[in-house]
């Protein structure tokens, strides 16, 4: 799957108003839930805590940006 190859292991940054509090995440894998693609992301400083977000959220420039 081409989409998986492009997104997996990419670093993304949580966009916030405060430049110092921006968290960097790594996309670990993609998961399909009810026909919608979601991404499992983990904080680069804490690989054990995973967050599941919709792929559309990752594409929103007001939420995340790819590094």
pTM metric for this prediction: 0.80
Helix (H) or strand (E) holding 58: helix 55-59
Helix (H) or strand (E) holding 7: helix 2-7
pLDDT of residue 17: 64
- Rounded Cα–Cα distance for residues 9 and 17 (Å): 25
pLDDT of residue 8: 86
Q: Which domain holds residue 58?
A: 2-66
Look up the CATH number of the domain holding residue 10.
2.30.30
Name the stretches of the chain with pLDDT < 70.
1-5, 17-19
- Rounded Cα–Cα distance for residues 42 and 64 (Å): 13
Number of independent structural domains in the chain: 1
pLDDT of residue 42: 94
């Amino acid at each position: 799957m081409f989409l998986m190859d492009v997104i997996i292991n990419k670093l993304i940054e949580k966009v916030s108003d405060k430049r110092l509090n921006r968290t960097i995440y790594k996309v670990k894998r993609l998961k399909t839930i009810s026909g919608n693609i979601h991404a499992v992301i983990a904080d680069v400083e804490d690989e054990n805590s995973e967050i599941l977000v919709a792929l559309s959220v990752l594409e929103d420039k007001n939420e995340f940006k790819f590094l």
